[in-house]
Amino acid sequence: MFLDEIAKRRTFGIISHPDAGKTTLTEKLLLFGGAIQEAGAVKSNKIKKGATSDFMEIERQRGISVATSVLAFYYKDKKINILDTPGHKDFAEDTFRTLTAVDSVIVVIDVAKGVEEQTEKLVEVCRMRAIPMIVFINKLDREGKDAFDLMDEVEQKLGLRVTPLTFPIGMGYDFQGIYNIWGKNVQLFVEEDKQHKGTAIQYDDLNDPALAQAIGEKALNTLNDELELVEGVYPSFDQEAYLNSQLQPVFFGSALNNFGVQELLNCFIDIAPAPLNKQAVEREIDPTEKAFSGFVFKIHANMDPNHRDRLAFIKIVSGTFERNKPYLHVRNNKKLKFSSPNAFFAERKEIVEISYPGDIVGLHDTGNFKIGDSLTSGENINFKGIPSFSPEHFRYINNADPMKAKQLNKGIDQLMDEGVAQLFTLSLNNRKIIGTVGALQFDVIQYRLEHEYGAKCSYENLNVFKACWVEPEDENNDEFKDFKRVKQKFLATDKQKQLVFLADSSFSLQMTQQKYPSVKFHFTSEF
Ligand code: G4P
């Protein structure tokens, strides 16, 4: 029973550059699962174009994004958990953290735009972590790049090795459907109206005379030639290679038209991994172990200032998580019980008695949790793989209301625990520096400090190129001592009290590296 439940779970994330169709695809998957009744039910949680400095918009979006953080539904006999990843680049760090909780991903690419910047960054993270990936090429109803050129681009820019499992018949104006290499049938797209609403007609055989008639001899010949080329050029699908992140299957379709999506979903539930082993500092944890373990990958603050509790999202790695059972919060060495753990479905969340590996539970928290924390049945397990990356923007944060110093410190502390930004404390004078991925977060922090904590802050510009986590060869050697003395002005500690060098330019970083060869500088906090 326990093992069946694990084998049923498919926990994944959809990643893309904004506007490639992530929200639309998510919605269509939910429709197939019967989790929602009509398109438009899942509100987009992306920050709309042109609203990039509007933090009220962010607050609104934050509300929506609680609801869409995890979307769970049943399809055939599988339990599907989709973890939402923000597409906006200023929230890239949120996405990186969410990727620590997925067992696989689907990468959505716009057929006309091809591989875009944000896709490159996110895929690189997935590749580094060897996460199994499926590529979905979207918007086939529009004119776009040639399918072979696009697969070349995916291989070159994303460093993937691909094999198509569906293949388009025509494109844009001439788009007629797809050949399902995986299911060995043809799906023809029949457009019914100007809104691109359509239905699919299935042919089980390429030699079916009705097919030739439907798409025309010419298109059929082209398709046959292309399929021959596919067979000659691309490796045949190998599940082992996919699971090891050495081969990425490609699907073509149009999410908006609900076309090619079911083929994707049917194949996905067959090939995508059930919950995988997870490496902790102490040892590797197998999901089938009876003892519970899990970790926090996301914290969401309550938007109602009268209720200061937060929702911590836990990915269950092994065992079962049960309501009202005491679990060990490893970092604080404290037992905690949860009377109302939440499970998430497409349009609702509800209190759940028992959850299995692969599931996400939302726990009400009054300030115990930090991102990356582990929760277990009792064992001392610390999960790895939620590093901080060097921020891109840095500012001093000052208290603008001396009467509210306590509130300010508490607010900063909690917002950092949520992972909104990173805090560095200058070694020289204890001044606080906030580092963020995007300039947008400074507005968010200021707004939230005021509205949630009653504190006021102001910022002061600071010229920092990168935060580099410092790893000395030997803490006691003269070179390291000299480094600390000479560079004192540029040294700070992060929230974990790790030493950080705030380089003011790429040139000064280079010079420092040359001068102190035994000291290593890292752009992430885990090395
Ligand atoms: P995102 O979450 O990746 O940012 O993308 P989203 O799904 O919001 O899609 C971005 C735009 O692309 C939307 O149009 C959406 O309707 C459109 N789109 C998605 N899939 C397809 C497709 O298969 N074909 C075509 N032609 N368009 C597609 P929008 O005008 O920006 O928004 P909306 O007003 O339609 O919501």
DSSP three-state, residue 483: helix
How high is the pLDDT of residue 41?
Answer: 54
Number of Cβ within 10 Å of residue 38's Cβ equals 7
45 ligand 1 Cβ < 6 A: no
DSSP 31-61: HHTTSSSSTT-S---SPPTT-TT-HHHHHHH
160 ligand 1 Cβ < 6 A: no
89 ligand 1 Cβ < 6 A: no
Distance 137 CA to ligand 1 centre (A): 13
Q: Compute CA distances 443 → 89, 294, 438, 446, 457, whole Å.
A: 15, 33, 10, 5, 11
Sign for the CA dihedral angle at 453, 459, 464, 470 comes to: negative
Distance 141 CA to ligand 1 centre (A): 12
85 ligand 1 Cβ < 6 A: no
Ligand 1 pocket test, pick from 30, 191, 256, 264 with the greatest ligand atom count within 8 Å of Cβ, gives 256
How high is the pLDDT of residue 47?
Answer: 42
Enumerate the domain spans of the chain: 2-172+235-271, 279-376, 393-522
141 ligand 1 Cβ < 6 A: yes
Residues whose CB falls within 8 Å of the CB of residue 314, separated by 6 or more in sequence, listed in order? 294, 295, 296, 297, 321, 360, 361, 362, 363, 375
In words, the CATH class of domain 279-376 is alpha beta
How high is the pLDDT of residue 204?
Answer: 78
68 ligand 1 Cβ < 6 A: no
In words, the CATH class of domain 2-172+235-271 is alpha beta
CATH architecture of 393-522: 2-Layer Sandwich (3.30)
Going by alpha carbons, the residue nearest to atom 7 of ligand 1 is 21
Q: Nearest-5° angle of CA 304, CA 308, CA 309? A: 105
259 CA closest ligand 1 atom index: 23
How high is the pLDDT of residue 60?
Answer: 61
Distance 177 CA to ligand 1 centre (A): 19
21 ligand 1 Cβ < 6 A: yes
Distance 220 CA to ligand 1 centre (A): 30
One pLDDT digit (tens) per residue for the chain, 527 residues:
899 999 999 999 999 998 999 989 998 998 887 776 665 655 554 444 444 445 556 666 665 565 567 888 999 999 999 998 876 677 777 888 899 999 999 999 999 999 999 899 899 989 988 999 999 999 998 999 999 999 999 999 999 999 999 999 988 888 889 999 988 888 888 766 545 556 677 777 888 888 888 888 888 899 999 999 999 999 999 999 999 999 999 999 999 988 899 889 999 999 999 999 999 999 999 999 999 999 999 988 765 656 667 889 999 999 999 999 999 999 999 999 999 999 887 667 789 999 999 999 999 988 889 889 999 999 999 997 677 788 889 999 999 999 999 999 999 998 888 888 999 999 999 999 999 988 888 988 998 899 888 999 999 999 999 999 999 998 899 999 999 999 999 999 998 899 999 999 999 999 999 999 999 999 888 76
For the chain, the distance separating the N- and C-terminal CA atoms, rounded to the nearest angstrom, is 39
Distance 10 CA to ligand 1 centre (A): 25
How high is the pLDDT of residue 170?
Answer: 86
Ligand 1 pocket test, pick from 15, 22, 24 with the greatest ligand atom count within 8 Å of Cβ, gives 24
Going by alpha carbons, the residue nearest to atom 21 of ligand 1 is 256
142 CA closest ligand 1 atom index: 26
254 ligand 1 Cβ < 6 A: yes
- Give, as one character, the DSSP assignment of residue 177: E
How high is the pLDDT of residue 403?
Answer: 93
Going by alpha carbons, the residue nearest to atom 28 of ligand 1 is 256
17 CA closest ligand 1 atom index: 3
Closest alpha carbon to 177 in 200, 195, 194, 196: 200
Enter the tokens of residue 234.
Answer: 């691309």
b (16+ CB within 10 A) / e for 10-23: bbbbbbbbbbbbbb
How high is the pLDDT of residue 215?
Answer: 86
256 ligand 1 Cβ < 6 A: yes
47 ligand 1 Cβ < 6 A: no
How high is the pLDDT of residue 51?
Answer: 41
**What is the C-alpha to C-alpha distance for residues 320 and 292, in angstroms, rounded to an integer?**
5
Distance 40 CA to ligand 1 centre (A): 11
84 ligand 1 Cβ < 6 A: no
**What is the C-alpha to C-alpha distance for residues 9 and 102, in angstroms, rounded to an integer?**
11
The reply to whether 2-172+235-271 and 393-522 are identical in fold is: no
Distance 21 CA to ligand 1 centre (A): 5
108 CA closest ligand 1 atom index: 3
Going by alpha carbons, the residue nearest to atom 26 of ligand 1 is 139
Burial class (CB in 10 A: 0-12, 13-18, 19+), 191: middle
**Site of tokens 């597409």:** 87
Closest alpha carbon to 462 in 373, 397, 405, 376: 397
